[in-house]
A and B are shown apart, each in its own frame.
Chain A
Amino acid sequence: MTTRRHRNAETASGKIIRWILITIALIFLALFLITPLVAVFAQALDKGWAGYWEAIREPDTLAAIRLTLIAAAFAVPLNTLFGIAAAWSITKFDFRGKNLLLTVLDLPFAVSPVISGLIFVLIFGAQGWFGPWLSEHDIQIIFAVPGIVLATIFVTVPFVARELIPHMQAQGREEEEAALVLGASGLQTFFRVTLPNVRWSLLAGVILCTARAMGEFGAVSVVSGHIRGETNTIPLQVEILYQGFNYVAAFAVASLLTFLGLATLIIKKFVEWKTLET
Chain B
Amino acid sequence: MGIEIHGVSKKFGTFEALKNVDLTVGDAELVALLGPSGSGKTTLLRIIAGLDTPDSGSILLNGEDATNRGAGDRGVGFVFQHYALFRHMTVMENVAFGLRVQPKKVRKSKEDIHDRVMTLLKLVQLDWVAKRYPAQLSGGQRQRIALARALAVEPKVLLLDEPFGALDARVRRELRTWLRRLHDEINVSCVFVTHDQEEALEVSDRVAILDKGRIEQIGTPQSVYDNPANPFVYSFLGNVNLFHGRVKEGKATIGDFEVDAPEHRDATDSPAVGYSRPHEMEVSRERNGNDSLSAVILQIQAVGPNIKLRLKRTESEDILEAEITREKQRDMDLKSGETIYVKPRLVRVFIADPSETPLNYQI
What is A's interface to B at a CB cutoff of 8 Å?
174-175, 177-185, 188, 192-193, 196-197, 278
Complex contacts, A178 vs chain B, CB 8 Å:
78, 80, 84-86, 149
The answer on a CB contact under 8 Å between B76 and A182 is: no
The answer on a CB contact under 8 Å between A174 and B101 is: no
Contact A193-B50, Cβ < 8 Å, known A181-B77, A183-B102, A188-B101: no
The answer on a CB contact under 8 Å between B88 and A182 is: no
B72 contacts A by Cβ under 8 Å:
yes
The 7 closest A-B pairs by CB, nearest first: A182-B98, A174-B84, A178-B84, A184-B101, A183-B72, A181-B78, A196-B88
The answer on a CB contact under 8 Å between B97 and A175 is: no
B97 nearest in chain A by CB position? A182
Q: How many A-B residue contacts, CB cutoff 8 Å? A: 66
Could you tell me the distance between the alpha carbons of A196 and B87 in the complex, rounded to whole angstroms? 9
B49 contacts A by Cβ under 8 Å:
yes
B332 contacts A by Cβ under 8 Å:
no
Could you tell me the distance between the alpha carbons of A196 and B102 in the complex, rounded to whole angstroms? 20
The answer on a CB contact under 8 Å between A197 and B97 is: no
B82 contacts A by Cβ under 8 Å:
yes
Complex contacts, A182 vs chain B, CB 8 Å:
72, 77, 97-98, 101, 149-150, 152-153
Task: Pick from B82, B86, B87, B89 the residue with the most CB of A within 10 Å.
Answer: B86
The answer on a CB contact under 8 Å between A184 and B97 is: yes
A-B CB contact pairs (8 Å), 9 listed: A178-B85, A180-B51, A181-B150, A182-B153, A183-B102, A184-B98, A184-B101, A192-B86, A196-B89
Chain B interface size, as a band, is 20 to 34
Complex contacts, B49 vs chain A, CB 8 Å:
181
Nearest Cβ on chain A to B124's Cβ, whole angstroms: 17
Complex contacts, A179 vs chain B, CB 8 Å:
86, 97, 101
Could you tell me the distance between the alpha carbons of A179 and B102 in the complex, rounded to whole angstroms? 11
What is B's interface to A at a CB cutoff of 8 Å?
49-51, 70-73, 76-78, 80, 82, 84-89, 97-98, 101-102, 149-150, 152-153
Complex contacts, A185 vs chain B, CB 8 Å:
72, 101
The answer on a CB contact under 8 Å between A192 and B84 is: no
B51 nearest in chain A by CB position? A177
Could you tell me the distance between the alpha carbons of A175 and B150 in the complex, rounded to whole angstroms? 13
Complex contacts, A180 vs chain B, CB 8 Å:
51, 70-72
B152 nearest in chain A by CB position? A182
Task: Pick from B72, B80, B87 the residue with the most CB of A within 10 Å.
Answer: B72
Could you tell me the distance between the alpha carbons of A178 and B51 in the complex, rounded to whole angstroms? 9
Complex contacts, B88 vs chain A, CB 8 Å:
196-197, 278
The answer on a CB contact under 8 Å between A181 and B50 is: yes
Could you tell me the distance between the alpha carbons of A177 and B76 in the complex, rounded to whole angstroms? 13
Could you tell me the distance between the alpha carbons of A193 and B77 in the complex, rounded to whole angstroms? 18
A176 nearest in chain B by CB position? B84
Nearest Cβ on chain B to A182's Cβ, whole angstroms: 4
Nearest Cβ on chain A to B50's Cβ, whole angstroms: 7
Could you tell me the distance between the alpha carbons of A192 and B98 in the complex, rounded to whole angstroms? 11
A193 nearest in chain B by CB position? B86
The answer on a CB contact under 8 Å between B71 and A177 is: yes
Nearest Cβ on chain B to A49's Cβ, whole angstroms: 45
Nearest Cβ on chain B to A197's Cβ, whole angstroms: 6
Could you tell me the distance between the alpha carbons of A40 and B73 in the complex, rounded to whole angstroms? 61
Could you tell me the distance between the alpha carbons of A175 and B87 in the complex, rounded to whole angstroms? 9
Nearest Cβ on chain A to B311's Cβ, whole angstroms: 47
Nearest Cβ on chain B to A92's Cβ, whole angstroms: 13
Nearest Cβ on chain A to B97's Cβ, whole angstroms: 6
B80 nearest in chain A by CB position? A174
Complex contacts, B153 vs chain A, CB 8 Å:
182-183
Nearest Cβ on chain B to A12's Cβ, whole angstroms: 43
Additional A-B contacts beyond A181-B50, A197-B88 (9; CB < 8 A): A174-B82, A177-B51, A177-B78, A177-B84, A179-B86, A179-B101, A180-B51, A183-B72, A185-B101
Nearest Cβ on chain A to B7's Cβ, whole angstroms: 24
The answer on a CB contact under 8 Å between B72 and A184 is: yes
